[in-house]
Amino acid sequence: MGQQRPANHRKEHIMKNLTIALSIAAAVFASSAVSAQESAEYSGYTGFVSTKTRAQVQEELHLAQQRGEIRDGEQYSEFKVDAAPAKTRAEVKAELAAYRKTHAEVSDDVAAL
């Protein structure tokens, strides 16, 4: 025949489980309350009043994309540079060769150039 647990042991077990369940419930409640509070505090900037229509803004966006000022929604895109480099490759190589004559610590390996 099975042994019966004393009533005190069973009561302790129930209290332990209840304490764990209440701790978990409190943690879940606290985290959801914090989450709700964070989203409630920020409601966006509501003082903005547009002076342009949606169509005007879309047209400006389209023109800026065509000019290369905006690419695929990037916030800070690199602008196109229409200027040529200041020196040619041959000029840079000649300058490096002249520099090497006075600076022995610079490698002579020009294969990588």
> What does the pLDDT look like over 22-73, one tens digit per residue?
899 888 887 776 665 555 566 667 777 889 999 999 999 889 888 877 766 6
Buried b (16+ CB within 10 A) or exposed e, 18-45: eeeeeeeeeeeeeeeeeeeeeeeeeeee
Handedness of CA 88, 89, 95, 99 (dihedral sign): positive
User: At a CB cut-off of 8 Å and minimum separation 6, what does 110 contact?
Assistant: 93, 96
Predicted model pTM: 0.28
